[in-house]
Amino acid sequence: MIRGTTKVVVCGVAIIAAIVSYRHAYAVVTEYGESGITAIMIPLTIDGLVYAASMVILHSARAGIKAPWLAWLLLWVGITATLAANVAHGWRNGLVGSIVAAWPAVALVGCYEMLMWLVRSNTHQRPETAPEMTDINQQAIHAYQESVRIGSPLSERRLAERFGKSRRWARAIMEKAANEEQG
């Protein structure tokens, strides 16, 4: 019940904050010379960047691998950009105006990241593993194949540490995973 109501509130606040933040960014973009479809799309790229980076980080958490540094970098770039656009919108009203105008961006990013945390932490309680993956070797093969699929392959050391096994075991798992992919 707590998780469910929290998700509803977080989503509600995020929707409201996204709308206000978008309007602020749109006003700044149009004030500085953009118009038409470009002015409509630029604010969407800012929040879209935050969303895309967060999804990559979420996927990495679910796959049990380290998120790519680019995802973290772009998450912070997107957060900085949305804050900057909102601060710029309120700038003409002084420091207090900037703080008030920045609030929707803070609420949006904060709520969105809390929602992502709820989703990430929920996956640890209910893993998305098929019944045939109850064997640790199959879990390891799947984890390694998934890490390769997303372009961030687990090393022998990381695979061994993750499953509490030796590097020799991890090497064998990596070979089995490669053979399964080929066969």
Instruction: Write the DSSP assignment of 4-51 as a string of letters.
Output: HHHHHHHHHHHHHHHHHHHHHHHHHHHHTT--HHHHHHHHHHHHHHHH
Same domain, 109 and 147: no
Domain, as residue range, for 164:
131-182
The pLDDT value recorded for residue 37 is 95
Per-residue pLDDT tens digits for 92-102: 999 999 999 99
Last residue of a domain, one of 79, 94, 125: 125
Q: What is the pLDDT of residue 134?
A: 56
> Is the pLDDT assigned to residue 125 strictly greater than 60?
no
Lowest-confidence range among 13-17, 69-73, 82-86? 13-17
> Which is more confident, 46 or 117?
46
Q: What is the reported pLDDT for 122?
A: 62
CA 124 to chain centre: 16
Same structural domain, 135 and 45: no
The mean pLDDT value of the chain amounts to: 84
Alpha helix (H) ranges present in 32-135? 36-63, 69-90, 94-125
Could you say which of 125, 142, 164 is where a domain stops? 125
Q: What average pLDDT does this structure show over 135-160? A: 87
Q: Distance between CA 125 and CA 120 in Å, rounded? A: 9
Count the neighbouring beta carbons within 10 Å of the beta carbon of residue 116.
17
CA distances to 21, 73, 91, 154 from 50, rounded to whole Å, are 13, 10, 23, 25
CA 48 to chain centre: 11
144 in the same domain as 104: no
Range from 33-42, 68-77, 105-114, 127-136 carrying the lowest mean pLDDT: 127-136
Query: What pLDDT was estimated at residue 128?
Result: 47
Q: Alpha-carbon distance 128 to 42, whole Å?
A: 36
